[in-house]
Amino acid sequence: MQPEQIKKERAEDSAKLENRATLLVKCPDQPGIVSVLSTFLFRHQANIIESSRYSSNPENGTFFIRLEFTCEKLSSKAAEMEREFKLIADDYKMDYDFHYLSKRQRSAIYVSKELHCLLELLWEWQNGDLETDIAVVISNHEDAREIVESFGIPFYYLPANKDIRKEVERQQIALMKEYEVDVLILARYMQILTPDFVNHFESRIINIHHSFLPAFIGANPYDRAYKRGVKLIGATSHYVTNDLDEGPIIEQDVERVDHRDDVATLKKIGRQIERRVLTKAVKWHLEKRIIVEGNKTIVFH
C-alpha cells in the first residue's frame, strides 16, 4: 500500500469513532460512585458500551473505573459535558480523563538496530489494528530509515552516547513537541534516559525489556538467562521511571526453552515474545485501558 493510502484508511477509521469516548476515573472509594457516574452519562444521552472497575480495598480504598460510551453529536456536546463533570469530580475528589476516540493519539517510536518490534508496530498500524498516528521515528542508527520512510513517516537519526545525552535529549524533546507526540514507545531503543527526560513524559514512555522482570534487570538478559539455565524466557513491557527496569509493569509473557537452546536461539524466541508483549501494551495504552497506581498498573482489558 502507498503511504497516502494507509493514511487515508487510518483517517477513515478515526472518523468512524467520532461519537465514541472513554472516561477514566480514580477517587476515594465510597458508596454511590457508580450511581453518580452512570446517571451523569444517562442524562447526557450517552450509552455505556463497556465498563470496568476496580477497588483497591472494599473499605477505605481507592476506586478506579473505565467507561467507554457512545453519544450522538458528541463533538458538539463534549465541552458542556466536561464542564458539568468537573462539579461532580470536585465533589468526589476524582482524578479523571475524558478521551475522544476520533482524536487519535500521536506516537513516537524510538528504535536502535534491532527492528522486530518496530516492524510489528508498523504492520499492526498499517493493518488498522493500532489506533494511533505514528508521528515520527527516532533512532541512534540508520538501519530503520528505509523501511520507516517507505511508510511516509519522518525518520530522525540522532546519535546516542553518554557524553552527548543531554544535548540529544534536548533535540528529542524539541521533536516530540514539534510532532505533538502523546506517547513514546521504546521499541528496543537500548539507551538510558536521564531523569529530566523521563519526568518530562511521566507515564507516557513505554519500554519493552527482554526478560521476565524482575528477573534479569539491566543488560544482556538473554545471556544471563542462558547462564542461569531457566526453563522459560520472557519479556516485559512497562512504563519507564527513573529506576532502571523497575517501572509499572503493563504486560509480560514467556515461552518455554530448554538446555539445547543457546543464546542466539533464546534471542530468536525472545524476539517473538517482545513483539507481541510490546504491541499489546501499546494498544492498551492507546485505548486508555491502563491506570498507573503507585508502581503498579491497573489494566482494564
Which lies closer to a copy of itself via its Cβ, residue 39 or residue 171?
Answer: 39
Site string for a copy of itself, 215-244 (x = CB under 8 A): xx-----------xxxxx-x----------
- Among residues 91, 245, 253, 261, which one is catalytic? 245
C-alpha cell at 7: 493514511
Which lies closer to a copy of itself via its Cβ, residue 179 or residue 300?
Answer: 300
Render the chain in DSSP notation, one character per residue: --HHHHHHHHHHHHHHTTTEEEEEEEEE--TTHHHHHHHHHHHTT-EEEEEEEEESSTTT-EEEEEEEEE-TTHHHHHHHHHHHHHHHHHHHT-EEEEEETTSPEEEEEEE-S--HHHHHHHHHHHTT-S-EEEEEEEESSSTTHHHHHHTT--EEE----GGGHHHHHHHHHHHHHHTT-SEEEESS---PPPHHHHHHTTT-EEEEESS-TTTT-SS-HHHHHHHHT-SEEEEEEEE--SSTT-SPEEEEEEEE--TT--HHHHHHHHHHHHHHHHHHHHHHHHTT-EEEETTEEEE--
Active site residue 95: no
Alpha-carbon dihedral sign for residues 210, 216, 219, 220: negative
Which lies closer to a copy of itself via its Cβ, residue 135 or residue 213?
Answer: 213
Q: Which of 14, 102, 203, 272 is close enough to bind a copy of itself by CB under 8 A?
A: 272
- Minimum gap (Å) between residue 256 Cβ and a copy of itself: 9
From the list 83-91, 115-123, 130-138, 179-187, the region that binds a copy of itself by CB under 8 A is 115-123
Which lies closer to a copy of itself via its Cβ, residue 251 or residue 274?
Answer: 251
- Minimum gap (Å) between residue 174 Cβ and a copy of itself: 31
Render 22-41 in DSSP notation, one character per residue: EEEEEEE--TTHHHHHHHHH
Give yes or no for residue 78 binding a copy of itself (CB under 8 A): no
Give yes or no for residue 116 binding a copy of itself (CB under 8 A): yes
Give yes or no for residue 276 binding a copy of itself (CB under 8 A): yes
- Minimum gap (Å) between residue 88 Cβ and a copy of itself: 13
Site string for a copy of itself, 132-171 (x = CB under 8 A): --------------x-------------------------
Count of residues in contact with a copy of itself, rule CB under 8 A: 57
- Minimum gap (Å) between residue 182 Cβ and a copy of itself: 23
Please give the residue ranges that form the binding site for a copy of itself (CB under 8 A): 1, 31-32, 34-35, 38-39, 41-42, 45-55, 58, 70, 116, 119, 123, 127, 129, 146, 212-216, 228-232, 234, 248-254, 258-260, 268, 272, 276, 295-299
Q: Which residues are catalytic?
A: 245
